[in-house]
Amino acid sequence: MAENPATQGLARAALLASKGLPMTREHAAPELVCPAGSLRALQAAVDAGADAVYLGLKGGTNARNFAGLNFDDAQVREGVAYAHARGAKVLMALNTFADARDLGPWRQAVDRGVDLGADALIVADSAVMAYCRDAHPTLRLHLSVQASATSHAAIEFYRRRYGIQRAVLPRVLTLQQVEQVIRHAEVDIEVFGFGSLCVMVEGRCILSSYTTGQSPNNAGVCSPPSAVRWQEDAAGVQVRLGGMLIDSYTHDEPRGYPTLCKGRFLVRGERDYAIEEPTSLNTLAILPELVAMGVKAIKIEGRQRSTAYVEQVTRVWRAAIDQACASPGRYGVQPEWTATLSRHAEGQQHTLGAYNRPWR
């Protein structure tokens, strides 16, 4: 069920003292990390207040491998120059798993990222990390969410073995679990703040593989465009993935890009979202807690989304982080923030996801 962050912000902030997490001005503002699927989106994010943007090269080395998205070398150079001139960082995602038969494309992408001036690489595959460590020992490495490291022990393994300096946590942990990881980890911790949710543990999904034979963890996209078919008839539009019917719509019904986990199926005679209902993670309500426990970066999901999405969501989060750090005792989710994020949320619904999981 959708949640209303506007009614939760003050209550969440009031809980800080009882949890031993008093907010003070001494808490450093977390870095706002925003998506850039194009040069225009990168510029919009930086202008709207992003501290860092993350992007990917064209091809299967990054987990948003869609036609029309991502950067060639000239665009990366221009984007890096634009961001650096305005005090922002550029992070490059090389977050798919390399083909054991040919590590060449991933190694070449690492070398390109270094040559093009990326401030850090976001990596999931241990073989790619090993190459970064050996070939570019001064390169800053961030552990991708695709690596599925959910404990401080797992993160410590990557720190000792490959020298990672930041880990992005999967969206399956409660607030208490995030706090425990931060308390014991010896690297910076980044969490997702807003955007589409993944029902699976990142980096371990095989749903697309089941229907298309192509793993999203290697190819970089949950639903390969070549496997998607829209079939229109008098009744409406049927959507198939790898030949499997995963949803159907009336002609005037809104529809997004199809993924198997968010398809609608007949289960016991009822047609509904059997696996995951479309909704977006929205952590504005718990932002003071995230700051107080020492989260070093908050990531906005959405490299596949529009420039308008990037610009508007970034502005909301810039304002929220600034308020939460400057006046923690007065922090509250503003109605205009919620209204803006609602326009960009999947299904126009928000949730705290696993952060507010009532069960253990």
Q: Final residue of a domain: which of 273, 302, 327?
A: 273
> What is the structure's pLDDT at 1?
41
In the numeric block, the tokens 């955007």 are attached to 195
Calculate mean pLDDT across residues 240-269. Answer: 88
Q: Final residue of a domain: which of 222, 238, 273?
A: 273
Q: pLDDT tens for residues 270-302? A: 888 888 888 889 999 999 999 999 999 999 999
In the numeric block, the tokens 């880990």 are attached to 167
Calculate mean pLDDT across residues 177-205. Answer: 90
Give me the CATH number covering residue 186: 3.20.20.70
Please give the Cα distance from 68 to 39 (Å, whole number). Answer: 11
Q: In terms of domains, do 260 and 305 share one? A: no
Task: Answer whether residue 148 is part of any domain.
Answer: yes
What percent of the chain is modeled with pLDDT above 70? 92
Q: Which residue has the higher pLDDT, 132 or 259?
A: 132
Please give the Cα distance from 145 to 78 (Å, whole number). Answer: 27
Q: Which residue has the higher pLDDT, 165 or 235?
A: 165
> What is the structure's pLDDT at 225?
84
For 252, the domain range is: 211-273
Q: Final residue of a domain: which of 273, 305, 321?
A: 273
Task: Answer whether residue 249 is part of any domain.
Answer: yes
> What is the structure's pLDDT at 219?
77
> What is the structure's pLDDT at 25?
39
pLDDT at 94 over 90: yes
Calculate mean pLDDT across residues 182-205. Answer: 89
> What is the structure's pLDDT at 136?
98
Number of domains in the chain: 2
Q: In terms of domains, do 254 and 286 share one? A: no
Of the candidates 354, 338, 328, 350, the one whose C-alpha atom is nearest the C-alpha of residue 15 is: 328
pLDDT at 193 over 60: yes
pLDDT at 336 over 50: yes
Calculate mean pLDDT across residues 242-262. Answer: 87
Q: In terms of domains, do 89 and 36 share one? A: yes
This prediction has a pTM of 0.88
Please give the Cα distance from 304 to 55 (Å, whole number). Answer: 10
Calculate mean pLDDT across residues 44-59. Answer: 97
SS3 label, residue 152: helix
> What is the structure's pLDDT at 223?
84
pLDDT at 348 over 90: no
Q: pLDDT tens for residues 112-135? A: 999 999 999 999 999 999 999 999
Work out the end-to-end distance of the chain between its first and last CA atoms, rounded to an integer number of angstroms: 19
> What is the structure's pLDDT at 358?
60
> What is the structure's pLDDT at 14?
44
Task: Answer whether residue 202 is part of any domain.
Answer: no
Q: In terms of domains, do 216 and 110 share one? A: no
Average pLDDT of the chain, as a whole number:
89
Please give the Cα distance from 38 to 55 (Å, whole number). Answer: 8
Task: Answer whether residue 204 is part of any domain.
Answer: no
Q: pLDDT tens for residues 144-156? A: 999 999 999 999 9
Confidence of residue 308 (pLDDT cuts 50, 70, 90): very high
Vertex 144 angle, CA 72 and 75, to 5°: 15
SS3 label, residue 80: helix
pLDDT at 15 over 80: no
Beta bridge mates, 35: 54
Q: Which residues of 254-284 are buried (b: 16+ CB within 10 A; e: fewer)?
A: eeeebbbbbbbeeeeeeeebeebbbbbbbbb
Q: In terms of domains, do 118 and 21 share one? A: yes
Please give the Cα distance from 152 to 9 (Å, whole number). Answer: 28
Task: Answer whether residue 161 is part of any domain.
Answer: yes
Task: Answer whether residue 132 is part of any domain.
Answer: yes
